[in-house]
Amino acid sequence: MTENNTILDVVKLTKIFRDFWRRPTVTAVDGLDLSIRRGEIFGLLGPNGSGKSTTIKMLLGLLHPTEGSISILGGRPSDVAVRKRIGYLPEASYLYRYLTPRETLSFYGRLFDLPAAERRRRTEELLAMTGLESAADRAVGEFSKGMARRLGLAQALLNAPELLILDEPTSGLDPMGCRQVKELLRALADQGTTILLTSHLLADVEHICDRVVIMYNGRPRAAGALQDLLATPERMTLDLPALDAAATKRLLAVLREQLACEPELSRPTMNLEEFFVRVVNEAAEDPSPANAAGPHMAPFLKQ
Protein backbone atom coordinates (compact mmCIF):
# COMPACT_ATOMS: atom_id res chain seq x y z
CA MET A 1 0.00 0.00 0.00
CA THR A 2 1.39 3.41 -0.94
CA GLU A 3 1.19 6.47 1.32
CA ASN A 4 -0.97 8.10 -1.29
CA ASN A 5 -3.72 5.59 -0.96
CA THR A 6 -4.25 6.29 2.72
CA ILE A 7 -6.72 9.15 2.99
CA LEU A 8 -7.05 9.09 6.74
CA ASP A 9 -4.75 7.81 9.44
CA VAL A 10 -5.79 8.05 13.06
CA VAL A 11 -3.65 6.78 15.94
CA LYS A 12 -4.76 6.39 19.56
CA LEU A 13 -7.40 9.07 19.25
CA THR A 14 -8.90 9.98 22.64
CA LYS A 15 -11.36 12.59 23.79
CA ILE A 16 -12.13 13.23 27.42
CA PHE A 17 -14.79 15.85 28.05
CA ARG A 18 -14.20 17.94 31.18
CA ASP A 19 -16.53 20.05 33.25
CA PHE A 20 -16.15 23.72 34.14
CA TRP A 21 -13.48 22.90 36.76
CA ARG A 22 -11.61 20.76 34.21
CA ARG A 23 -12.55 17.57 36.00
CA PRO A 24 -12.88 14.66 33.54
CA THR A 25 -16.52 13.73 33.06
CA VAL A 26 -16.90 11.49 30.00
CA THR A 27 -14.32 9.55 28.01
CA ALA A 28 -16.18 9.81 24.71
CA VAL A 29 -13.45 8.26 22.54
CA ASP A 30 -10.80 5.98 23.97
CA GLY A 31 -7.74 4.96 21.94
CA LEU A 32 -9.24 4.69 18.46
CA ASP A 33 -7.00 3.61 15.55
CA LEU A 34 -8.32 4.04 12.01
CA SER A 35 -6.87 3.89 8.54
CA ILE A 36 -9.01 4.57 5.51
CA ARG A 37 -7.98 4.01 1.91
CA ARG A 38 -8.98 5.92 -1.20
CA GLY A 39 -12.30 4.88 -2.73
CA GLU A 40 -13.40 2.93 0.32
CA ILE A 41 -16.70 3.17 2.19
CA PHE A 42 -15.82 2.95 5.85
CA GLY A 43 -18.45 2.53 8.55
CA LEU A 44 -18.06 3.81 12.09
CA LEU A 45 -20.79 1.84 13.82
CA GLY A 46 -22.07 1.65 17.35
CA PRO A 47 -25.05 2.41 19.57
CA ASN A 48 -26.01 5.94 20.59
CA GLY A 49 -23.38 7.54 22.79
CA SER A 50 -20.53 5.31 21.63
CA GLY A 51 -18.39 8.22 20.41
CA LYS A 52 -19.06 8.29 16.67
CA SER A 53 -19.99 11.98 16.34
CA THR A 54 -17.19 13.02 18.69
CA THR A 55 -14.70 11.13 16.49
CA ILE A 56 -16.01 12.85 13.37
CA LYS A 57 -15.85 16.29 14.96
CA MET A 58 -12.19 15.68 15.81
CA LEU A 59 -11.45 14.57 12.23
CA LEU A 60 -12.98 17.83 11.00
CA GLY A 61 -11.07 19.99 13.47
CA LEU A 62 -14.29 21.02 15.27
CA LEU A 63 -13.11 19.42 18.53
CA HIS A 64 -9.58 19.15 19.85
CA PRO A 65 -8.41 15.62 20.75
CA THR A 66 -7.22 14.99 24.29
CA GLU A 67 -4.64 12.57 22.90
CA GLY A 68 -3.65 10.91 19.65
CA SER A 69 -2.85 12.01 16.12
CA ILE A 70 -4.87 12.56 12.95
CA SER A 71 -3.51 12.72 9.44
CA ILE A 72 -6.26 13.56 6.96
CA LEU A 73 -5.70 14.00 3.19
CA GLY A 74 -2.01 14.34 3.95
CA GLY A 75 -2.47 17.23 6.40
CA ARG A 76 -4.04 18.22 9.69
CA PRO A 77 -7.76 18.71 10.37
CA SER A 78 -7.22 22.44 10.90
CA ASP A 79 -5.58 23.02 7.48
CA VAL A 80 -7.80 25.18 5.28
CA ALA A 81 -6.53 23.41 2.15
CA VAL A 82 -7.54 20.07 3.65
CA ARG A 83 -10.99 21.26 4.66
CA LYS A 84 -11.75 22.38 1.10
CA ARG A 85 -11.41 18.78 -0.06
CA ILE A 86 -13.88 17.38 2.49
CA GLY A 87 -17.68 17.23 2.34
CA TYR A 88 -19.55 16.95 5.64
CA LEU A 89 -23.09 16.00 6.50
CA PRO A 90 -23.63 16.71 10.22
CA GLU A 91 -25.90 14.56 12.38
CA ALA A 92 -28.43 17.40 12.39
CA SER A 93 -28.04 19.63 9.35
CA TYR A 94 -28.75 23.29 9.81
CA LEU A 95 -30.94 24.38 6.94
CA TYR A 96 -32.52 27.81 6.71
CA ARG A 97 -36.29 27.24 6.92
CA TYR A 98 -37.25 29.99 4.51
CA LEU A 99 -34.81 29.14 1.73
CA THR A 100 -35.66 26.67 -1.01
CA PRO A 101 -33.25 23.83 -1.93
CA ARG A 102 -32.16 25.76 -5.00
CA GLU A 103 -31.41 28.85 -2.88
CA THR A 104 -29.75 26.75 -0.20
CA LEU A 105 -27.32 25.15 -2.63
CA SER A 106 -26.65 28.46 -4.32
CA PHE A 107 -25.93 30.03 -0.91
CA TYR A 108 -23.39 27.32 0.01
CA GLY A 109 -21.91 27.50 -3.49
CA ARG A 110 -21.18 31.16 -2.80
CA LEU A 111 -19.45 30.25 0.46
CA PHE A 112 -17.19 27.96 -1.58
CA ASP A 113 -16.47 30.85 -3.98
CA LEU A 114 -17.81 28.95 -6.97
CA PRO A 115 -18.31 31.19 -10.04
CA ALA A 116 -22.00 31.87 -10.79
CA ALA A 117 -22.26 29.59 -13.84
CA GLU A 118 -20.55 26.69 -12.07
CA ARG A 119 -22.75 27.24 -9.01
CA ARG A 120 -25.90 27.02 -11.11
CA ARG A 121 -24.68 23.93 -12.92
CA ARG A 122 -23.76 22.07 -9.74
CA THR A 123 -27.00 23.10 -8.04
CA GLU A 124 -29.16 21.73 -10.88
CA GLU A 125 -27.13 18.54 -11.19
CA LEU A 126 -27.30 17.85 -7.46
CA LEU A 127 -31.04 18.57 -7.28
CA ALA A 128 -31.54 15.99 -10.04
CA MET A 129 -29.19 13.50 -8.42
CA THR A 130 -30.87 13.63 -5.02
CA GLY A 131 -34.40 13.54 -6.47
CA LEU A 132 -35.27 17.01 -5.19
CA GLU A 133 -36.04 18.66 -8.54
CA SER A 134 -39.80 18.73 -8.00
CA ALA A 135 -39.37 20.28 -4.56
CA ALA A 136 -36.58 22.65 -5.59
CA ASP A 137 -38.63 25.81 -5.09
CA ARG A 138 -40.45 24.92 -1.87
CA ALA A 139 -39.31 26.31 1.47
CA VAL A 140 -37.10 23.84 3.31
CA GLY A 141 -39.08 24.41 6.52
CA GLU A 142 -41.91 22.24 5.12
CA PHE A 143 -39.63 19.35 4.28
CA SER A 144 -39.84 15.85 5.69
CA LYS A 145 -36.75 14.61 7.50
CA GLY A 146 -35.86 12.43 4.52
CA MET A 147 -35.99 15.35 2.09
CA ALA A 148 -33.90 17.49 4.44
CA ARG A 149 -31.35 14.67 4.66
CA ARG A 150 -31.09 14.45 0.88
CA LEU A 151 -30.61 18.22 0.65
CA GLY A 152 -27.89 17.93 3.31
CA LEU A 153 -26.19 15.32 1.18
CA ALA A 154 -26.39 17.55 -1.90
CA GLN A 155 -24.87 20.37 0.14
CA ALA A 156 -22.02 18.11 1.28
CA LEU A 157 -21.22 17.29 -2.37
CA LEU A 158 -21.15 20.87 -3.68
CA ASN A 159 -17.37 21.16 -3.51
CA ALA A 160 -16.86 17.79 -5.29
CA PRO A 161 -15.09 16.45 -2.19
CA GLU A 162 -12.46 13.73 -2.24
CA LEU A 163 -13.52 12.65 1.22
CA LEU A 164 -17.16 12.63 2.21
CA ILE A 165 -17.90 12.42 5.94
CA LEU A 166 -21.50 11.58 6.77
CA ASP A 167 -22.88 11.44 10.31
CA GLU A 168 -25.94 9.14 10.30
CA PRO A 169 -26.76 9.69 6.60
CA THR A 170 -29.73 7.30 6.63
CA SER A 171 -31.41 8.57 9.79
CA GLY A 172 -34.99 9.62 9.18
CA LEU A 173 -35.13 8.12 5.70
CA ASP A 174 -37.86 5.73 4.62
CA PRO A 175 -36.70 2.44 3.03
CA MET A 176 -36.83 3.86 -0.51
CA GLY A 177 -34.88 6.95 0.51
CA CYS A 178 -32.42 4.79 2.36
CA ARG A 179 -31.93 2.54 -0.66
CA GLN A 180 -31.40 5.59 -2.93
CA VAL A 181 -28.84 7.14 -0.61
CA LYS A 182 -26.96 3.84 -0.38
CA GLU A 183 -26.90 3.45 -4.16
CA LEU A 184 -25.66 7.01 -4.52
CA LEU A 185 -22.88 6.45 -1.99
CA ARG A 186 -21.84 3.21 -3.72
CA ALA A 187 -21.73 5.03 -7.07
CA LEU A 188 -19.68 7.86 -5.57
CA ALA A 189 -17.22 5.39 -4.06
CA ASP A 190 -16.94 3.49 -7.36
CA GLN A 191 -15.77 6.63 -9.07
CA GLY A 192 -13.14 7.41 -6.45
CA THR A 193 -14.79 9.36 -3.60
CA THR A 194 -13.76 8.07 -0.19
CA ILE A 195 -16.64 7.87 2.29
CA LEU A 196 -16.65 7.71 6.06
CA LEU A 197 -20.09 7.26 7.54
CA THR A 198 -21.53 6.55 10.95
CA SER A 199 -24.65 4.64 11.80
CA HIS A 200 -26.38 3.06 14.75
CA LEU A 201 -28.71 1.22 12.36
CA LEU A 202 -26.50 -1.59 11.22
CA ALA A 203 -28.87 -3.03 8.64
CA ASP A 204 -28.91 0.35 6.89
CA VAL A 205 -25.25 0.21 6.03
CA GLU A 206 -24.52 -3.49 5.99
CA HIS A 207 -24.56 -3.75 2.22
CA ILE A 208 -22.39 -0.80 1.34
CA CYS A 209 -19.49 -0.65 3.81
CA ASP A 210 -16.20 -2.18 2.74
CA ARG A 211 -14.77 -2.06 6.24
CA VAL A 212 -16.17 -1.12 9.63
CA VAL A 213 -15.22 -0.38 13.21
CA ILE A 214 -17.80 -1.17 15.85
CA MET A 215 -17.53 1.15 18.84
CA TYR A 216 -18.98 0.82 22.29
CA ASN A 217 -18.41 3.30 25.11
CA GLY A 218 -15.75 5.07 23.06
CA ARG A 219 -13.70 1.95 22.47
CA PRO A 220 -13.30 0.02 19.22
CA ARG A 221 -14.60 -3.50 19.92
CA ALA A 222 -14.39 -5.11 16.48
CA ALA A 223 -12.84 -3.98 13.23
CA GLY A 224 -12.24 -5.31 9.76
CA ALA A 225 -13.66 -6.04 6.34
CA LEU A 226 -17.38 -6.59 6.63
CA GLN A 227 -17.25 -9.82 4.66
CA ASP A 228 -14.63 -11.21 7.09
CA LEU A 229 -16.47 -10.08 10.21
CA LEU A 230 -19.74 -11.57 9.04
CA ALA A 231 -18.30 -14.75 7.53
CA THR A 232 -19.24 -18.08 9.15
CA PRO A 233 -16.58 -20.40 7.68
CA GLU A 234 -17.88 -23.41 9.62
CA ARG A 235 -21.20 -23.33 7.70
CA MET A 236 -22.22 -23.50 4.05
CA THR A 237 -25.52 -23.15 2.17
CA LEU A 238 -26.57 -24.83 -1.03
CA ASP A 239 -28.94 -22.71 -3.12
CA LEU A 240 -31.24 -24.75 -5.41
CA PRO A 241 -34.49 -24.39 -7.31
CA ALA A 242 -37.30 -25.99 -5.25
CA LEU A 243 -37.36 -29.79 -5.73
CA ASP A 244 -40.35 -32.10 -5.43
CA ALA A 245 -40.84 -34.19 -2.30
CA ALA A 246 -39.26 -37.39 -3.66
CA ALA A 247 -36.15 -35.67 -4.99
CA THR A 248 -35.79 -33.73 -1.73
CA LYS A 249 -35.95 -36.95 0.23
CA ARG A 250 -33.24 -38.59 -1.94
CA LEU A 251 -31.00 -35.54 -1.61
CA LEU A 252 -31.40 -35.39 2.16
CA ALA A 253 -30.57 -39.09 2.39
CA VAL A 254 -27.29 -38.53 0.54
CA LEU A 255 -26.43 -35.54 2.74
CA ARG A 256 -27.28 -37.43 5.91
CA GLU A 257 -24.67 -40.04 4.96
CA GLN A 258 -22.00 -37.30 4.70
CA LEU A 259 -22.88 -35.44 7.89
CA ALA A 260 -22.73 -36.32 11.51
CA CYS A 261 -25.87 -34.27 12.07
CA GLU A 262 -29.25 -33.81 10.40
CA PRO A 263 -29.11 -31.35 7.43
CA GLU A 264 -31.40 -28.38 7.84
CA LEU A 265 -33.77 -27.61 4.99
CA SER A 266 -35.28 -24.14 4.69
CA ARG A 267 -36.71 -21.89 2.02
CA PRO A 268 -34.89 -18.56 1.61
CA THR A 269 -36.97 -15.42 2.01
CA MET A 270 -36.35 -11.91 0.82
CA ASN A 271 -35.47 -9.45 3.53
CA LEU A 272 -38.13 -6.90 4.35
CA GLU A 273 -36.25 -4.08 2.63
CA GLU A 274 -36.05 -5.95 -0.69
CA PHE A 275 -39.73 -6.81 -0.43
CA PHE A 276 -40.72 -3.24 0.43
CA VAL A 277 -38.72 -1.78 -2.47
CA ARG A 278 -40.34 -4.26 -4.85
CA VAL A 279 -43.86 -3.48 -3.64
CA VAL A 280 -43.31 0.26 -3.94
CA ASN A 281 -41.73 -0.03 -7.38
CA GLU A 282 -44.60 -2.15 -8.64
CA ALA A 283 -47.15 0.24 -7.18
CA ALA A 284 -45.68 3.29 -8.90
CA GLU A 285 -46.52 3.36 -12.58
CA ASP A 286 -44.51 6.36 -13.70
CA PRO A 287 -40.73 6.14 -13.80
CA SER A 288 -39.92 8.58 -11.01
CA PRO A 289 -36.40 8.87 -9.56
CA ALA A 290 -37.46 6.43 -6.85
CA ASN A 291 -37.99 3.77 -9.47
CA ALA A 292 -34.97 4.40 -11.65
CA ALA A 293 -32.66 1.43 -11.91
CA GLY A 294 -29.52 3.02 -10.56
CA PRO A 295 -28.36 6.33 -9.17
CA HIS A 296 -27.92 9.15 -11.57
CA MET A 297 -24.54 10.70 -10.86
CA ALA A 298 -24.14 14.48 -11.14
CA PRO A 299 -21.82 14.98 -14.15
CA PHE A 300 -19.59 17.51 -12.33
CA LEU A 301 -18.73 14.85 -9.75
CA LYS A 302 -17.35 12.42 -12.31
CA GLN A 303 -13.62 12.30 -11.77
With CB under 6 A as the contact rule, the residue among 48, 232, 266, 303 that binds ligand ADP is 48
How remote is the C-alpha of 145 from its chain's centroid? 17
Packed helices 116-129 and 145-157: angle between N→C axes, nearest 10 degrees: 140
Smallest gap from residue 220 Cβ to ligand ADP (A): 12
Bridge partners of 10?
A: 34, 70
If one asks whether residue 53 binds ligand ADP (CB under 6 A), the answer comes out as yes
If one asks whether residue 49 binds ligand ADP (CB under 6 A), the answer comes out as yes
If one asks whether residue 53 binds Mg ion (CB under 5 A), the answer comes out as yes
Nearer Cβ to ligand ADP, position 28 or 132? 28
If one asks whether residue 21 binds ligand ADP (CB under 6 A), the answer comes out as no
DSSP 71: E
| Site for Mg ion, residues 88 to 107, rule: CB under 5 A | 91
- 238 to 277: interface string for ligand ADP, x by CB under 6 A: ----------------------------------------
If one asks whether residue 4 binds ligand ADP (CB under 6 A), the answer comes out as no
Residues 204-209: contacts with CB within 8 Å, 24+ apart?
A: 204/170, 204/178, 205/43, 205/45, 205/170, 207/182, 208/41, 208/182, 209/41, 209/42, 209/43
In one-letter notation, the amino acid at residue 157 is L
Nearer Cβ to ligand ADP, position 54 or 194? 54
CA–CA gap between residue 85 and residue 163 (Å, rounded)? 7
The full DSSP string for 8-50 is: EEEEEEEEEEE-TT--EEEEEEEEEEEEEETT-EEEEE-STTS
Nearer Cβ to ligand ADP, position 219 or 296? 219
Query: Under the rule (CB under 5 A), what is the footprint of Mg ion?
Result: 52-53, 91
Residues that bind ligand ADP (CB under 6 A): 17, 26, 28, 46, 48-54
